[in-house]
Structure 1
Amino acid sequence: MGIEVKNITKLYGSQKALDNISFSVKTGEIVGFLGPNGAGKSTMMKILTGSLSPSSGTALINDIDIQKDKLKLQKKIGYLPEHNPLYEEMFVREYLQFNANVYAIKKNKVEEVIKLTGLAPEANKKIEQLSKGYRQRVGLANALLHNPDVLILDEPTTGLDPNQLVEIRKLIQEIAKNKTIFLSTHIMQEVEAICDRVIIINKGEIVTNQELKNLKSKTEQLIEVEFDFRVEVELLELLPKLIQAKNTIDFVYELTFDTQEDMRHKVFDFARDNELKILQLHQKHKNLEEIFRNITA
């Protein structure tokens, strides 16, 4: 088992940042940890790295209690915080070598992570000269230096351009084969691209913990249709198994049905019976962003 969280609660005075949180992440799994601002994500990540103590409950990283042996714990974890702290006056290779010395790591490991994270062209530059995207790479390279079993990444793709996003995404997927990866991000497309499972937290509580494929395969079906004339929503509500009818713009309507049955033929029948013409019609699938909004609203 990579990460096991048991009944973690964190209080700041009388305010509960985390309320009896429990979950687990297996080795080889990439889990996205999502939630609105202030939901408790960063608090949970700081607890897992041993930099913050819970008010109650416990967590294990590869069977190591986070509160009992923090030195041993830190050897097992690679951590990239949201606000990536770097010594900007140092050169990239110099900075990584400095941190490698802390872990008593051989020099060739520095060159290995430089190559792995695509830092070779920038390795002889000062960190202060780097773009935000390359600074993120330096932080990720630093997290990988000691070959940790568990990677905890807080907003790892912040500031990356589209090409860098693809590269870092591939890198995370590659290193996940024999590591546990727990990442927080606001970029839903990244979660959909690389995560196996999603944990969503809201107001300090877990509101969903599901494999991504199961989360997205709900029975709801969305159909977007454009008629040649405005239709009263009350009339559309006569359609079978309809949950919601919404006029999005002009004569375009978004219809939500509580079924996996293809309801397009019902919409065609409705148009015929009401002497309407359909100008366009297509099925839509809820993306993770829509699911996230519905769950945390």
Structure 2
Amino acid sequence: MMTTIEPHAPDLSLRLMRIAVGGFYGLSQLMRRPPKAPGAVTEHAYGPHPDQRVEFIEPREGASARAPIVYFHGGGWILGKKESYTRYLSFLAEAGYPVFNVEYPLAPENPHPAILRSLFSALDWIETNHPELSGYHVMGDSAGGNLAMMIGLLATHPGLVADVDPARSDGLPLSCHSVVSLYGVLDRLSWIEDGFPGSENMMESYAGKGAFEAKVGPELAITPMDLEFDSAPPSLLTVGTEDQLLRSSRIFADRLSAGQGRVVLREYVGEGHGFFNLGRSKADVQMNADILDFLEAEDPNSA
């Protein structure tokens, strides 16, 4: 039986934070001028909610065909916009990967399991509107890295999907080729214990007070470490050594290593949280290269 988490409007501080974060990323793009996408960028609705939107970033013309990447933005489930990532995802399109940059309704207005269900709908839309596709790589950063790994595990374990959406007895559409989780929230308890800024507010907004218990039932399995699974898609986990999510990443990497499948953990010395789309150091350049190397090894269309 699903536990009902009551949605509620964001308080004034969160509303102001959303405005500030949006302005920060807008200014960041103006100052650092990340490259434009090499192909056309089109926007589509995948559901009735105004935040159920997806950008399709076409790959560079002439690039070798690759399976698409489905990307989920970060922001602690309570912040963030896909537009903050469009240009930073251009390196994937340059390498031949079509990119679906997914917007989703945020908590606390849309608490768990609404966000995951929305992502299920995005996959439905991709399958319906791109019948030529048979599978995808899934990728995200921070809370988006959490969502990416959750989708990867749910896609490969259809029996777990009904705990999120009882109406989905047949699992998720398409096949998940691999997961790339950039400093994702992968272990619920260490994330809180290690003092990630704002983590308690984020988790309560997303999943209510019950998510703070040492053990949770399937209805509150909001991080990959909460799930029961025996295998996973090939997975790349990246994290900075100064990030409060370092232990979370190591814990989950150990969990994957104990099972079946390939896991790669990359740690970036001296880096904190959120460097993928901030352009602060050489680490983001190295991480992009690591991502492309990993995807090349896992893509079904690579030579």
> TM over 0.5: same fold?
no
Whose strand fraction is larger, Structure 1's or Structure 2's? 1
TM superposition score normalised by structure 1: 0.28
TM superposition score normalised by structure 2: 0.27
Whose helix fraction is larger, Structure 1's or Structure 2's? 2
Higher Rg: 1
Higher relative contact order (CA 8 A, sep 6+): 1
